[in-house]
Structure 1
Amino acid sequence: MNPEQFFKQAKQALNLPENTVLQSSYQFGVDADHLADLVQTGIKTATTSAYDLYEPNEPLPKVGAYDVILNSRDEPICVTKTDDVIITPYRSVDDQHAYQEGKGNRSFAYWKRVHDDFFENEYAAAGKNFNPETAMMVLEKFHVVYPK
């Protein structure tokens, strides 16, 4: 089943209006299966993306938007609804956001170590330099709406 079919099924199950749109479908990070499981079980309720790496016409996450989370084989796992979106400096990410990301021991130290490496690689792949003092991040909070 593709993400659009999965979302159509979710809309029916949730009694959402027919004109409700799917914002996006995506995999999380470098361990898509594990992170999709954390989302589906409600452990992972937040994510961080690099504002500087969004394409010019690529939409930012929006409060109230629906997304389909995919596993490593691009199979739909669940539908999330975005609760909050904040653009903030990387250096301003706090303990609470790190905990809500649900990774490792959920500490800020773990979050920072993993994300320093992740963003260094992501920026390098885009031909840019990652500077934790000046990089801007998109912090998104969400919850699973389907399947429950």
Structure 2
Amino acid sequence: MTAEQMWERVIQDYPNYGASTYEAFSFGNTDIMADELALLVKAGKKTATSSVFCFYEMEGAALPQGGELSIVLNSKNEAECIILTTKVYTTSFNLVSEEHAYKEGEGNQSLDDWREGHQAFFTEALAECNQVFDENMLIVYEEFKVIWK
């Protein structure tokens, strides 16, 4: 099902969302990640995500806000579920908590595993725009819940 088709079905079930807008996206930067993370979200194991703050600055983009709706896509751009952002805040990479790591739902959900995986992911993403990873850099942390699948 496409994002548009999923949205139409949600509007039928929840007409109060009819005035809302949504963003459709996939998590990660590879097809494998997109599929794995979409399944974790759909299963309710992944209830948070993080991104590098400077990317919002470079793109002149607004930070996500609580109450926003998003359609999570898999690697084939098929809609997997709709999430509602419940909480957004910024913190430095080195101050991420165990709870944050656990809510991201990836790997063994430990802080050490989160730091290792995200440092590698952020380092690669930053290199593409001639930026360097720094443990003190700000990240944007989002929590969400699945509202429709």
Residue 97 (structure 2) pairs with residue 94 (structure 1): yes
RMSD, aligned CA: 1.3
Aligned residues: 145
The 3 A distance-change label for structure 1 pair 57 and 11 is farther
Q: Normalising by structure 2, what TM-score?
A: 0.91
Q: C-alpha separation between the residues in 1 aligned to 2:62 and 2:8?
A: 21
What's 2:12 paired with?
12
Runs of 4+ in 1 over 6 A off after TM superposition: none
What's 1:69 paired with?
72
What's 1:59 paired with?
62
What's 1:137 paired with?
139
What's 2:26 paired with?
27
Residue 46 (structure 2) pairs with residue 44 (structure 1): yes
Cα deviation, residue 12, structure 1: 1.9
- Identify the structure with the greater helix proportion: 2
The 3 A distance-change label for structure 1 pair 17 and 69 is closer
| Partner deviation per Cα, 1:41-90 (whole Å, 9 max, x = no partner) | 00000000111112433232110010000001111100000000001111
Residue 137 (structure 2) pairs with residue 109 (structure 1): no
> 5+ residue gaps in structure 1?
none
Q: C-alpha separation between the residues in 1 aligned to 2:126 and 2:5?
A: 33
